[in-house]
Amino acid sequence: MGKSKKFFYEWEDYEDGEKNAQTMIEDILADGELAGLDELVIGCWGESWDNNVQPVIDGIVGNKEKFANVKHLFIGDMDYEECEVSWIEQGDYEKIWSALPQLEKLTIKGSTNLSLGKICHENLKELEIICGGLPKEVLESIGAAKLPSLVSLSLYIGIEDYGFDGEVEDIRSMLEKSDLPKLEHLGILDSEIQDEVAEVVLKCKYMNQISSLDLSYGTLSDKGGQILLDTLPSYPNIKEVNLEWHYMSGGMMKKLSKLDAEIDMDDQQEDDEDDGEVYRYPFLTE
């Protein structure tokens, strides 16, 4: 991998309101190192909860020749102290696909007002969306996408309160309609319905071709663990399974540990109970 650079504003930079996404793209375009960058990382663009990143996206599209060497793009790389993930104002990526034909990896953090549009890209190998709640519209875009080179897909599903306006059937539909012939890694994670998600994923058409499966960061319980226990032996091609941050019992973990696949079951969680009600939470929401 070549040279990487992150552009971001600290509070002192934008507290007076003079720095925003528009000034950030101007800063990027004026940077003398831009032509040599292999990876471009966009962090906080100033009050990212109140100003969307569209000027940066539009600036990349409008000056696409200046980003011809960028193969890895990450938009929204910021921690909770800069902006809670569910507050990050994203944008419309539809024109990115044709503007950056050389792009191999795209990571997007945040899903407020996120739109992928019609996706068609010959060379993209990795797509990751990190958020507290994934809009149904985004799932539909991925389901209809033309991504013949995609090797890795990772989607944080999140919860309804922070943007997930679909249901498990929308995830099933996305997996059924999508056409990802080179997919090797599938991650559908961070859901409050992770048992149902696990059942859908383990029945999807990609199970025979992937080598790595990620169902981490959600509310996976012994119900989902049993589905994994019953299903994974049928897929010796799957060598790695990530179940980190889960609600499975020690007994279920012991059973799963005996499977041939390498299974990460770190960060076991405990149920929260209140007046007889059981509450479980995904890792990343707000």
- Does 13 map to a domain? yes
Q: Compute the distance between CA of residue 131 and CA of residue 283 in angstroms, rounded to an integer.
A: 11
The model's pTM is: 0.96
pLDDT in tens, the chain (286 residues): 579 999 999 998 888 888 999 999 999 999 999 999 999 999 999 999 999 999 999 999 999 999 999 999 999 999 999 999 999 999 999 999 999 999 999 999 999 999 999 999 999 999 999 999 999 999 999 999 999 999 999 999 999 999 999 999 999 999 999 999 999 999 999 999 999 999 999 999 999 999 999 999 999 999 999 999 999 999 999 999 999 999 999 999 999 999 999 999 999 999 998 888 889 999 998 8
- Does 109 map to a domain? yes
Domain count, the chain: 1
Q: What is the CATH number of the domain that holds 45?
A: 3.80.10.10
DSSP structure class, residue 45: -
| Parent domain of 193 | 3-215
- Does 185 map to a domain? yes
Contact 85, 190 (CB under 8 A): no
Count CB neighbours of 230 within 10 A. Answer: 10
- Does 132 map to a domain? yes
Q: Which one, of 41, 47, 61, lies nearest residue 19 by Cα?
A: 47
Tokens matching residue 251: 């007994």
- Does 273 map to a domain? no
- Does 238 map to a domain? no
Count CB neighbours of 151 within 10 A. Answer: 18
- Does 56 map to a domain? yes
Contact 160, 194 (CB under 8 A): no
Q: Compute the distance between CA of residue 166 and CA of residue 60 in angstroms, rounded to an integer.
A: 31
- Does 32 map to a domain? yes
**234 CB-side CA count, 13 A:** 10
